[in-house]
A and B are shown apart, each in its own frame.
Chain A
Amino acid sequence: MRVSRVSLIVSLLLLTAAAPEMPFGSTAPELPPTVELQTFAPREAMPVLGQRVVEPDGKAVARLVDVLVDPDGRPVAAVLDFGGFMGVGIRKIAVHWSTLRFEPGEGTYRIILTLAPDEIKAAPEYRDPNKPAPVVMPTTPEHRPDPQ
C-alpha cells in the first residue's frame, strides 16, 4: 500500500517533469528506442521505383514508376512508362505483378517483363489513379513467370 503510493507519487513527478518534452503523456522514462531489425542482402530485396524494366533479351523497354497494391498491401500491378523520346510520347501501362520477374543482385538487379511486345501495344493507357485501373494480365503460358 505504502509502496504503491510512493511509486504513484514518483511516477506523477516523472510525468510532470517529462511533460514539456512529451506532450502526449508518455509515462515511460527516457530509454533509447529499440527496434526489431532484420537485414536483407541486395540479392534478397531490391528497390523497384524508377528502375528500368527490360525484355527477356535484356533490351530496356520501360521504367517502373508506380506500384498498385491490394487492401493487404500486396503488389497487384506495376505502372510502367513505355517508349517516348525526351519525355514525349510516353505511355503509362499497368501490368500485373506476375508478368514481371525480379532478379535482385549486387549492383546488377533487373526487372524483366515477360509480356510480348504485341500485348503491350494492345494495352490501354493507365491514366487516372482515381478510376478503375486497366491491368494487363499474363495470357499465354510461355509468358508466365517461371515458378520458383
Chain B
Amino acid sequence: MPYQRAIKTSATRGLDLLNFCIAGEQTGFGPFVAVYLAARHWTQVEIGFALSLGTITAMVSQIPAGVLVDALRGKRKAAAAGTLAIGVCALLLAVWPAPLPVLTAQVLHGFASCVLTPGIAAVSLELVGHAALGERAGRNARFAALGNGLAAGAMGLLGSYVSEQAVFLLTAVLCVPALATLPFIDAKPQPPTRRAAIGGAGRAELVALLSDRRLLVFAACAVLFHLADAAMLPIAAGELTKRVGVHANLTIAACILAPQAVVALLSPWVGRTAARLGRRPLLLLGWASLPLRGVLLAVLPNPFLLVAVQALSGVSGAVFGVMVPVIADDVTLGTRRFNLCIGICGLAAFTGGALSTTLAGWLADAAGDPVAFLGLAVAGLVGTALVWLAMPETRAIEAVE
C-alpha cells in the first residue's frame, strides 16, 4: 500500500503560496530586463553582455546547485536563501542600475534560480513523499502558473503606466510572502525506507545515475523539447507586432497569459494521471503538442488565432513542469541525488532553449518566420519520436514506500 502521510493544511497552503510568489518573482527577470536596461540608457552591447552573463551563470550553475541542494540537510533553508537572493537581485536592479550592481544581480539571479527550482521540488518531496509527488507537482505547477500569469499582467501594467523600476520593486516585495510561507511547510521526518540507501556507496550511486538510460533519454528529450518550444513565442509575438501593429501588446499579453491559464487548469490532472496511468502517455501528449503548434503557427493566416495556438503551449508546459520532478524522483528513488537529477534536466532544458533562439533566429532571418516555425516543429517531432521509441516508463510497478 502506498504510504499516505498526514499533511497539515497549513503546509499544503504554504507550499501553494510559495510556488505562486516565486513564479511571480521570476516573471520580472527574462526579456523584461533588456527593456528595463534600455530605458536606463544602457547600450545594446552592454545589455547583450548582461543578459548573456545571466544565461551562462544559470547554465553552469544547474549541476553544482543541484549537488549543493542534495548535500544540504535543510531543503527549506536552500529555498529561503534562493528566494532572498532573488529579492536582493530585484532590489539591486530597481535602485542601482549601474554596471557592477546589475552584473552582480545577473550572476546572483542565475545561481539563485538554480538553487530555487530543485529547492522547491525537494521541499515538496520531503512534504508529501514519493507516492504523492505527482499530485503535488501538479499543484506546484498550477500555483506557479497562476503566480506567473498574474505577475505578468500586473508587471505589464506597472511597466506601462508607472515605471519600469516599479516592476522590480514588485518583484522584490514578492519575496516577503514567499519567505513567510516557509515556516509553515514543515515536513515530518522521512520514513525509514528512503533513508536506508543514504550514506555509503556515494560514488557508485552517482555512476549509476549518470549512466541511467531513463535519465539520459529524458535529458535528450528535454533538450529537444526546449529546442522546439523556446523560440516559438518570441517569433510569434514579433510576428504579431509586425502584422497587428505597434499596439499589439495586449494581444501579446494574451499569448503569454493564455498558456498560463491552461497550465493552471491542466497541471493537477497531469499529476494525477501520471500516478494512475504512468508517465509515458503524458510525455507523449506534451511532446506531440510541440510539432502541432509549430505547424499551426507556420500556416496560420489570422494573427488573432495565434493566441489560441499559443494556448497549446500550456499543454506542453504543464506536462514538462510536472514531469521533471516526477521523473527525477522515479530515477533517484532511494538515493540522495534527486536535486542533481533536476539540475541535469534543467541544464538540458537551458541548452535546448539557447539553441532554439539561435537556430530559429537564423532560420527566420534566412527564410522567413514560417520556415523557422517548421524547423522548430521538426525538433518537436524528433523529440516526440524519441519519447515514443526510447523513453522507458519510469513509474514503479507499485509505490515503493
Residues of A within 8 A of B41 (CB): 47, 49-50
**Is the pair A86, B39 in contact by a Cβ cutoff of 8 Å?**
no
Interface pair B248/A89, CB less than 8 Å apart = yes
Q: Report yes or no: B30 in contact with A120, Cβ–Cβ below 8 A.
A: no
Interfacial residues of chain B within 43-66, with CB under 8 A of chain A in the complex: 43-44
B351 close to chain A: CB less than 8 A: no
A120 to B44, CA, bound (A): 21
Is B43 in contact with A66, judged by CB distance below 8 angstroms?
A: yes
Nearest-neighbour CB distance to chain B for A54, whole angstroms, equals: 11
Identify B248's interface contact among A62, A83, A86, A128, CB under 8 A.
Answer: A83
Chain B contact residue count (CB 8 A cutoff): 39
Interface check B212, CB cutoff 8 A: no
Q: Hey, which chain B residues are within 8 Å of A63, CB to CB? A: 35, 38-39
A87–B34 alpha-carbon span in the complex (Å)? 7
A121 to B238, CA, bound (A): 11
Which one of B11-19, B239-247, B323-331, B374-382 is at the interface? B239-247
Contact of B156 among A83, A86, A120, A121 (CB under 8 A): A86
Please indicate the chain A residues that have their CB under 8 angstroms from the CB of B236 in the complex. 89
Report yes or no: B40 in contact with A121, Cβ–Cβ below 8 A: no
Flag if A89 contacts B249 (CB, 8 Å). yes
Chain B residues, CB < 8 A from A125: 238, 242
* Majority DSSP secondary structure for residues of B touching A: helix
A121 interface neighbour in B30, B31, B39, B242, Cβ under 8 Å: B242
Assembly CA distance A90 to B243 (angstroms): 13
- The CA of A117 and the CA of B247, in the complex, are separated in Å by 10
A84-B243 in contact (CB<8A): no
CA distance A89 to B241 in the complex (A): 6
Instruction: State A88–B156 Cα separation when bound (angstroms).
Output: 11
Q: How far is the CA of A79 from the CA of B43 in the complex (A)?
A: 11
Q: Report yes or no: A62 in contact with B246, Cβ–Cβ below 8 A.
A: yes
Identify A83's interface contact among B34, B38, B252, B361, CB under 8 A. Answer: B252
Chain B 254-287 interface mask (CB, 8 Å, partner A; 1/0): 0110000000000000000000000000000000
Q: Is B253 an interface residue (CB 8 A)?
A: yes
Other contacts beyond A86-B152, A89-B252, A90-B241: 17, CB < 8 A:
A50-B39, A63-B39, A66-B43, A66-B44, A81-B38, A84-B237, A84-B241, A85-B249, A86-B155, A86-B159, A86-B256, A87-B30, A88-B256, A89-B237, A117-B245, A120-B246, A121-B245
Q: List 30 A-B contacts (CB under 8 A).
A: A49-B41, A62-B246, A63-B35, A63-B38, A63-B39, A66-B43, A66-B44, A81-B38, A82-B241, A82-B246, A83-B247, A84-B237, A84-B241, A85-B237, A85-B249, A85-B253, A85-B256, A86-B31, A86-B32, A86-B159, A88-B234, A88-B255, A88-B256, A89-B234, A89-B241, A89-B255, A91-B241, A91-B242, A127-B365, A129-B44
Chain A to chain B: the 5 pairs with minimum beta-carbon distance, closest first:
A89-B237, A87-B31, A83-B241, A50-B41, A85-B252
